[in-house]
Amino acid sequence: MFIPLILFLFLALIALAILLGLAIPFAMFARRFQSERPPASMPEGQYAADAVRLVDEIKDALKSCPIPYEQKAELLRQVRDVPGNVNRAICKLHRLRRIKKIARRSEDAADVLSEIEAMERGIVGELRRTHETLLAVPVTLMKVDVARGERNLDRIIAELGETNRRLNDLADSYSEVRAKQNLSYS
């Protein structure tokens, strides 16, 4: 009587272990490709929300703007990347701040702390510049629509491209600091 029950429980435990063993890699894979969302508690999180709203405004403004198709396509391509890059930069900033808290507890992490602070200032500065550039796009599109003459849109498209590149570079440099920080604790 007890042997079949024990055998059944043992087989159920093995089946559960197998299912968990198969589910864990899928969960890790899904988490890896899940989009990063900035923490709501960060003051810089407003940049992410503003970027999404401004991109929507820019898309609406482009529908009636009398600029050439090539410029519209290039502007849309650059603008479409901004919210994702802003989110990525804010998430990296959040991670940098967590690492900074850990590094402050270490006595021999002064070099890493100064590098983290420099990267933090760089990311926040780039987020501000990106926000200002995004704010300028709808205003410029309105000027083009009203005046039908001023065409400094190429400059703004170039600025957006440069901003996207810098945000990516800053977010990627986080990995270098993290690697150095891991080495200093080893």
Question: How confident is residue 109, by pLDDT bands cut at 50, 70 and 90?
Answer: confident
pLDDT at 138: 85
Report d(CA 116, CA 102) in Å as an integer.
12
Tokens 């999180």 found at: 45
Tokens representing 34?
Answer: 């899940």
Structure tokens at 145: 């629509």
Percent share of the chain, pLDDT over 90: 22
Asked if pLDDT for residue 22 goes beyond 60, the answer is yes
User: How confident is the model at residue 36, as a pLDDT?
Assistant: 56
Top-confidence range, 14-23, 132-141, 147-156, 167-176: 132-141
Query: Which has more confidence, 15 or 36?
Result: 15
Which residues, other chains included, contact 84 with Cβ-Cβ below 8 Å and sequence gap of 6+?
Answer: 35
pLDDT for the residue numbered 186? 55
**Can you tell me the distance from the alpha carbon of 148 to that of 21, in angstroms, rounded to the nearest whole number?**
63
Helix (H), strand (E), coil (C) string for the chain: CHHHHHHHHHHHHHHHHHHHHHHHHHHHHHHHCCCCCCCCCCCCHHHHHHHHHHHHHHHHHHHHCCCCHHHHHHHHHHHHHHHHHHHHHHHHHHHHHHHHHHHHCCCCCHHHHHHHHHHHHHHHHHHHHHHHHHHHHHHHHHHHHHHCCCCCHHHHHHHHHHHHHHHHHHHHHHHHHHHHHHHHHC
How far from each other are the two terminal CA atoms of the chain, in whole angstroms?
A: 55
- Residue 171 — φ and ψ, nearest 5°? -65, -35
150 pLDDT band, cuts 50/70/90, is: very low
CB contact set of 116 (below 8 Å; sequence gap of 6+): 96, 99, 100, 103, 177, 181
> Taking 60 as the threshold, does the pLDDT of residue 136 lie above it?
yes
pTM: 0.64
Under 8 Å between Cβ of 178 and 97: no
Q: Using 50, 70 and 90 to split pLDDT, how confident is the model at 175?
A: low
Condensed to tens digits (0 to 9), the pLDDT of residues 68-105 reads: 888 888 888 888 989 999 999 999 999 999 989 988 88
